[in-house]
Amino acid sequence: EYSIGANFAWSTFNDEVNFQPTCIVFPNTTKHVQTAMKAIFQNNAEYSVQAGGHSGMTGWNTVENGILISFINMMNSRVTSYDSQSDTITLLPGIHWGDATSALQQYGVAPVGARAIATVGTGLLLGGGISYLSSPEGYAADNFVSLDVVLVNGTLVTATVDNGYADLFKALKCGGNRFGIVTKYVVKAVHTGLEQDKRWFGGLLVYPNSSSEAVLAALAHFVHDTTNPNA
């Protein structure tokens, strides 16, 4: 398990370092995260948290001679759920965005999430998160409703915009894992429609160098003058 977790951490996005954790914790539940954090806190140990290992910043998702908490076992798409009463989506910290959107297609909703299906939820959400839905809906973190957070001493709290942990809720928008470890996200649902109802388009246009000036002028005009909220 150590080898699997370590190699997962040392992905091609972060292979310029050779950090070796002293041990790797693979929590299956929030209780496991609480237990790990209590031990880390009591022993003043160095630690790091990793969801998908997608970040390219040196040392962001592994640690040298410390404890690595890996969310490999908390990426079950079956836990991804939609609540029609509150119009919210629940996500686990290790979920891949592709799995999350696939699980929610039957409801015609999606979270404001990654543009790459292999990206894992936590890093993008706590880093702000730019999405294909960001033009009308804002950053992924703008769509938080509530966050279950394990604090450094192992205490579990739920942070919302208007409860006693509102400051923590605000700090976790782009604050990464510096203020606690989020083990459950409840986010706003965006009604994107069912797959069979959507009109798909895509492709690649390649212009010659001789058209560079005209292409840049057209791009500047589009960015400045477009009135389409989804553009």
Provide the pLDDT for residue 7. 58
CA distance 123 to 160: 19
Residue 11 has pLDDT above 60, yes or no: no
CATH fold of 2-70: 3.30.43
Average pLDDT over residues 92-100: 88
User: How much is the pTM?
Assistant: 0.84
Q: Do residues 61 and 9 lie in contact, with contact meaning Cβ atoms separated by under 8 Å?
A: yes
Name the DSSP class of 9. H
Residue the block writes with tokens 């942990």: 165
221 sits in which H/E element: helix 212-225
Q: Where are the domains of the chain?
A: 2-70, 77-191
CATH no. of 77-191: 3.30.465.10
Reduced to 3 states (helix: H, G, I; strand: E, B; else coil), residue 155 is: coil
> In CATH terms, are 2-70 and 77-191 the same topology?
no
pLDDT digits (tens, 9 = 90+) for 16-75: 556 788 889 999 999 999 999 999 999 999 998 888 777 766 667 778 888 989 888 887
**Around 185, how many Cα atoms within 13 Å sit in the side-chain half-sphere?**
32
pLDDT per position as a tens digit, 108-146 = 999 999 887 777 778 889 989 999 899 899 999 999 999
Q: Give the residue carrying structure tokens 């058209």.
A: 211
Round to whole Å and give the CA distance between 54 and 98.
14
